[in-house]
Structure 1
Amino acid sequence: MSTTLNSAAAPHDRTGRELHRSVGLFGLMFIALGSIIGSGWLLGALGAAQSAGPASLLSWILAAMLLIVLALIHAELGAAYPVAGGTARFPYFAFGTLAGFTAGWAAYLQAVTIAPIEVEASISYLASTGWAKKHLHLLHGNGTLTAVGVLVASAAMLLFTIVNLMGAKLLAASNNVLVIWKLAVPILAIVVIMSLSFHASNFHAGGGFMPYGVHGVFAALPAGVVFSLQGFEQAVQMAGEARNPRRDISRAIISAMFIGAAVYILLEVAFIGGLAPKNLVHGWANPIGAGDFGPYYTLALAAGAGWLATILLIDAVISPCDTGLIYLGTSARLSYALGEEEVLSDKLTQTNRRGVPTYSILLAFVIGEITFLPFPSWSSLVGLVTGATAIMYAFAPVSLAALQARDPDRPRPYRLPMPKVLNPVGFVAANLIIYWGGFEATWKLLTAIFVGRVLFEITLRRAKDVRRADIDWRAASWIWPWLIGITIIGLIGRYGKGAHHALPNWIDLLVVAAFSLVIFYYAVSLAMGSEQIKAAVDSEERQMAELADLNLPA
C-alpha cells in the first residue's frame, strides 16, 4: 500500500501536499533500530570502559532500564497521537505552543547534530587505520577535519539529503537493508571475539570490578552509553508517514529498544573479555592503546580474525552513515512540526511531489555542514547531544500524565503499565541523565534553549497571520524553573567541568529526584484544560482521518 493525497482535502495544507503514509511496522522498527545501532557500537564500549572499567556493564544495564521506561512512555504517546515530529507535538497538546516549541527546539538541537556526528565517527574510525594514515589525510592532530575530511563528510551529507528528498518510502526501504547488515555485524563480532579471545579475569583486573567506584558507573552514561541507546523515538517522529500508526508505533519502539539494549550489553561483555590482560595492568585509561579509536578492529586483529577486521571497517562506514541518514530525515520532520505550529517559518512545511518536507531537509543539510567546522571529534559533542536528548525525553512523561488526566477518553492501543509510577519515574530518569551529563553541558544547553526562545519571540512578533491563540503562558510556566533548577543542581553537584562538588554521593541523586518530582506534579497541575487539549488534538485527528480515507492502492 502507498498513500496518494488529494491536496485539496488536507487541513493545514499551505502547499498543496502533505506527508505520505507509506511506512509499515518493520519500516518503523528498523528506523528506530537503525538509529540506536550507529557509531555508538563502534566507539561506545571503549569510552564506557575508560570511565568505569568492568563496571561499565552496570552503566549499560542502568541506561537500558532508564531508557526502556521512557520508551514505554513514548510508545503510548506515539500510538495515541500519531503525528509527524511527535516529540514536539505531545507537549503542544498538553501545555500549548510555547511548551511544544521548547520541546521541539531541544529535539531539533540533538537530531540535527547527530547526522554530522555520525559522519565524523565514521571518518575518525577509518582514519585510525594504517591504510588511511598512509594514503589519506582526513584528520588534523587535534581531531578536526582536514580539507579532504570536510569534502568526504560533505559528500556523505549530500547523499543523505538526496535519499531523504526521494521520499519516506525510499528512506525506509534503504534503511531496512542497512539495518539487517548493522545488526548482523555486531552480533558476528560478539560471537567471534568471545570464541577466539575471551579472558574472564579482565572483569576484575585493573583495580577490580569497579575501579572508579559508583561515580564511574554514572560518569560513563553521558560518555557514550546513553548516546548509543537513544534513538527509539525516531519511530515517533515518522508517525505522520506510518501506514497504521496506532497499531505499529508502540510495537516498533518496544521491539527496537529491547533488541538494541541486548546487543549493546553483549558488546561490552565481548569488549572487556577480549582485551589483552597485559593492557590492564596499569588500569583502564588506555585498554587498547593510546590514540586507537577502532576498538573492535584492534581486538579482531589481535584474535587473528583479519577478515572480521575488514568487515568492521566496512561497517564503520555503513552503521554511522545509516544513522546519519535517518537523523537528517527525522530532524527535518521536527522542523516541519515546528513550522506546522507556526513557531518557525511556513517554508519548513512545504513538501515536494513525493510528500517530504523539502526546505526542512535542506536546512538540516546546511546546519550539518556548519557543524563539521568547529567541533574536533565524536566525543566532543556526545555529552551535549545526550543532554539535549534527555531534555526532549523529559517532556514525554509530563505530557503523557497531563493527557491521561485531561484527555482520558482517547483510544490508546498501547497503555503504559502503572502510569502513576512510571510517568514520574520517567521524568526523574531524564533529569538524572541531564545531571550526570555534567554542569558544563547543562549550562550550554540552557543557553541554546534561551536562544531558541528568542527566535520564538521574534517569530511571534513578526507573524502577520497568527493562528496561535493556544499559547498558554501559564501552562508552560514550569519549564524555565525546571531548566534553571537542574542547572543549579549541576553547579553544586559532582559531575562535569565547573561543578563545585558540594553535594555528597547519593545525596546529589536524592536532590535531583526530589526536585524532579516537585516539578513533575507542578507541571501536570498546570496543563491546559480539557477543551483546549481536545481542540488541538481534534484538529490533528481530522487531518489524520482525511489522510487515511485517501489511501489508494499502489
Structure 2
Amino acid sequence: MPPSGPSGLRIKSPDVLVAESGADLEGHGLKRTMGLFQLVCFGIGAIVGTGIFVGLSDTVARSGPAVLVSFVLAAVTCVFTAFSFAELGGAIPVSGSSYSYAYATLGERTAFLVGWCLLLEYGVSVSAVAVGWGQYLNELLNSLVGWQLPAALSSPPGDGGIVNVPAVVVMLLAAVLLVRGIRESARATAAMAVLKLGILVLFCAIAFTAFQDGNLTPFAPEGIAGITSGASVAFFSYIGFDAITTAGEEVKNPRRNIPTAIMICIGLVTVLYCVVALSAIGALSADEVGDKPAALSLVVNQVTGSAVGGGVIAFGAVVAIASVVLAVMYGQTRILMSMSRDGLVPRVFERISPKTSTPVAGTWIVAVLFAVPAAVVPLDVVMNLTTIGTLAVMAVVNVSVMVLRRTRPDLPRRFRVPLFPLSPVLGIAFCAYLIYGTGPATWLQFAGFLVVGALVYALYGRRNSRLGRGAAGPPAAGSGDTRPTSVTGHDTLG
C-alpha cells in the first residue's frame, strides 16, 4: 500500500522535503551562494520586464487612466498571497516552491496539478516574456543604426510575424548563462536588475516633465468592468515574485532571507509600476499609450522630440526582459528538478552537473521546449493562459498555509502570515476575482489544460511516483539515519 495522509492522500512531510533537498539523489547537491541582496535582485529580475515594458499598453487599453487602480488591485492580490509564500518559503526552504507546499499539505495529485500549472507560470510565461524582447530589440536597433529586423522574423504571429527569432535567441542565451552556475547567474541578474530599475526611474523623470492633468480624465472610461479586466492583465506584470521560493536550496539562511526578499520585492515593484503608469499617461493620453508596442519608448520619443531617449529606454527593456527570461527559466528548472526527485517527471530533470552544480540537461530541455511557443504563439494567448494558471497556483498556496498551520503547528516559522486566517482567505477571494476577469475563453482553455494534466498524472506520474512505491527519498546528508522516512505526520527528521 502506498503511503498516505490522514485523508487517504499521498502527502509528504515537510521534514522529508527539507531532508531530500540536503541530499541530492544524483550525489551532487546545489550550493548555497545567494545572499539577501542577490535574492532581492533575483526577485526583481523575475518580475520587472515584459509586464511593464510591453504589457502596460494592453492594461491601459482596457482600463484607461484607472490603470493605477488595476495595478493596485493586482498588487493587493499578490500581497495576500505573498504573505503565504513568505511563511511557507521560510518553513519549507526547498526548490519546489508551491509544488512542494501542495505536496506537504494537499497530497500528490494536487501537487502534480500545481506543478503542471507552474509550466504555465514559468515555462509558458518565459515564452511570453521572450516574445516582447523582439519589439524592444527592434526599437534599440532603429535608434542605433536606423535599421530593424523584418517583422516576419521579429514579431509574434497575429502581429505581422511568422517566426519570432529574437525570442528564441534570448532563451538560448539565458540557458547558456544558467548552465554555467548559479553564482554567475545571480551576479548577472543583480547587475541587470539595478540597470533596469535605473532606466525606469529615468523614464519617470522624463515623462513627468510633460505631465498634463487633463490626460487623467475620464478616469475610468470602461467602469468597474474595465478596471477588473485591466487588473487581470496587470497581474501578469507581477508574475515571478514567487520565483524567489524556487531558490530555497541555493540561498544562505533561507528561513530568514526568503520571506524578507518577497516582501521587499512586492513593495518596491508596486510603487514603481504605479509611478511608471502615472507618468506615461500623464505625458500622453491613455488612447495614445494603449495598444502601442514599445509604449515606454514611444512616450520618451514624443516628450523629448528625439529617438535617443527612446533608444535608452529600449536598451533598458532589452536588458530587463532578458533578466526575466533568465530568472523565470531558473525557476522552471528547479521545480522540474523537485518533481523529478519524486518520480512524477522523467529523471533527467534531477541530474545535477558535478562541474557547475546546475541541472544542465534539464535547463537545455526547458530552453528548447519553450522556445517553440515563443517563436510561433501569439502574445495575448500566452499571457492570458499564464495569468489564470498563476492565479490558480496562488489560490492553492493560500489553502496550503492554512492546512499546514493545522497539521504542523510545531514547524519552525521565521515569518507568520498576519491576520491569520483572514489574510489567506482574502488571497483566495482576490485570485478568484481576477480569474473571473480573464474571460470565458481563457477559462475553457485552462480547463482543457487541467484535464490534460490529470491524464498525464494518471498515466505517468502516479505509476512512477517514488512516494507511491514507498520511497520518500533519502535522509538528510550526514544524518547517518538509514531508516525509512515517514511521509505523513511527524517524523524523525524534524
Query: For 2:488 and 2:157, how far apart are their aligned partners in 1?
Result: 56
Instruction: State the Cα distance separating 1:373 from its structure 2 match.
Output: 3.9
5 Å-filtered alignment, 1:438-457, equals 438-457=439-458
Q: What code does the residue aligned with 2:149 have?
A: L
Alignment match, 1:304: 304
Alignment match, 1:519: none
Query: For 2:331 and 2:290, how far apart are their aligned partners in 1?
Result: 37
**Per-residue CA distance 1:121-156 (angstroms, 9 max, x = gap):** 010234467939954202378326445x42x33222
- CA 1:90–1:380: 2 relative to 1, 3 Å: same
Q: What code does the residue aligned with 2:231 have?
A: L
5 Å-filtered alignment, 1:45-60, equals 45-60=56-71
5 Å-filtered alignment, 1:201-220, equals 201-204=214-217, 208-220=218-230
Alignment match, 1:199: 212
Alignment match, 1:167: 181
Contact 2:131/2:155 (<8 A) preserved: no
Contact 1:97/1:468 (<8 A) preserved: no
TM-score normalised by structure 2 residue count: 0.86
For the aligned residues, what is the CA RMSD?
2.4
Alignment match, 2:13: none
Instruction: State the Cα distance separating 1:409 from its structure 2 match.
Output: 0.8
1:180 corresponds to 2:180: no
2:488 aligned to which of 507, 532, 535: 532
1:71 corresponds to 2:73: no
Contact 1:383/1:437 (<8 A) preserved: yes
Alignment match, 2:477: none
Contact 1:332/1:364 (<8 A) preserved: yes
Instruction: State the Cα distance separating 1:172 from its structure 2 match.
Output: 1.0
TM-score normalised by structure 1 residue count: 0.77
Alignment match, 1:80: 91
Query: For 2:314 and 2:162, how far apart are their aligned partners in 1?
Result: 20
Query: For 1:469 and 1:265, how far apart are their aligned partners in 2?
Result: 51
Q: What code does the residue aligned with 1:13 have?
A: D
Q: What code does the residue aligned with 2:64 have?
A: G
Instruction: State the Cα distance separating 1:366 from its structure 2 match.
Output: 1.8
Query: For 2:149 and 2:406, how far apart are their aligned partners in 1?
Result: 59
Contact 1:97/1:341 (<8 A) preserved: no
Matched position secondary structure for 1:48: helix
**Per-residue CA distance 1:276-335 (angstroms, 9 max, x = gap):** 5xxxxxxx5x42487x41212111111116342121111121111110011111100111
Alignment match, 2:238: 229
Q: What code does the residue aligned with 1:532 have?
A: T
Contact 1:78/1:239 (<8 A) preserved: yes
Q: Tell me the matched-pair count.
A: 454
2:149 aligned to which of 136, 157, 168: 136
2:275 aligned to which of 266, 270, 277: 266
Q: What code does the residue aligned with 1:295 have?
A: A
- CA 1:12–1:451: 2 relative to 1, 3 Å: farther
Instruction: State the Cα distance separating 1:24 from its structure 2 match.
Output: 1.1
- CA 1:128–1:310: 2 relative to 1, 3 Å: closer
Query: For 2:422 and 2:184, how far apart are their aligned partners in 1?
Result: 40
Instruction: State the Cα distance separating 1:461 from its structure 2 match.
Output: 6.1
**Per-residue CA distance 1:420-469 (angstroms, 9 max, x = gap):** 11111111122222111112112211211221221112224653x84326
Contact 1:122/1:316 (<8 A) preserved: yes
Query: For 2:401 and 2:281, how far apart are their aligned partners in 1?
Result: 39
Query: For 2:21 and 2:67, how far apart are their aligned partners in 1?
Result: 50
- CA 1:260–1:456: 2 relative to 1, 3 Å: same
Matched position secondary structure for 1:13: coil
Alignment match, 1:477: none
**Per-residue CA distance 1:352-402 (angstroms, 9 max, x = gap):** 1222122321221122222134312x3331111111110111111110000
Contact 2:140/2:315 (<8 A) preserved: no
Query: For 1:105 and 1:533, how far apart are their aligned partners in 2?
Result: 26
1:102 corresponds to 2:113: yes
